[in-house]
Amino acid sequence: MSNIPAPGDRVEIVLVYQSLLGIYGDRGNATVLMKRLAWRGYDPVLTVVEPGDPLPDTGRVYLLGGGEDAAQISAVRALAIDGGLHRAVDRGAAVFAVCAGYQIVGKSFTVGERDEVIEGLGLLDVTTTRGPVRAVGEMLTRWKGASGEQQWISGFENHGGYTRLGPDAVPFAEVEVGIGNCDDGTEGAVAGTVIGTYPHGPVLARNPALADHVLELGLGRTLEPLVRPEVDELRRQRLAAVRRLAR
């Protein structure tokens, strides 16, 4: 994106199809991004878009959450007609997609007992099919952050689809606890400013470094670190809890 916002500037976060992709509390990701922008002196604006409403071409970050099969199909078909996410990526905005949202931005996913193949948006080179067992539970992954330094990511996965990456996508993280994409030890996928991932939590509330990374992708700039002891303590407790469960 050509213009890089500075503190005091308006920054739009777009929450996509909350009525369809909002059953797992992933709206909290928007709340986290808004708060972390406000703490740094930006003027955050949240735009909630529902099916039938056009996606704005002014967003810096577009968020998709989890949803059930029927809602997922409705969402991907509406988004394909709208074309707004493709335009967003073309101009450098960030797309952060969780669970069903992750599958939607891929090439295809399957639903139902007959494993009907549904075409995705193709923003990530991934395909999803029904897995042998449902992935449910706390998870812990290793993410190589923007600086290249390893970060732990915690969250809660709940998905029946197993996702395979093609050559034009790279894994977002490596699995320490949980299933993630499938049986290859990876979790999520990344291509440019598009991130797909499975954990809920909401995941950006549990992992502030990831929240800032998403903002940096959308803003096109590096952000100064935030000192928030209460956030760091919550993160410490979450990581400890996941490790205890894994013993």
Q: How many CB atoms within 10 Å of residue 226?
A: 14
Indicate which residue of 159, 182, 200, 213 is catalytic: 200
DSSP notation for 92-148: T-EEEEETHHHHHTSSEEEETTTTEEEE---SSSEEEEEEEEEEEEEEEEEEE-TTS
Give the list of residues 6+ apart from residue 113 with CB closer than 8 angstroms, or none. Answer: none
**200 noted as active-site residue:** yes
**Burial class of residue 243, CB neighbours in 10 A (0-12, 13-18, 19+):** middle
- Catalytic positions are 99, 200
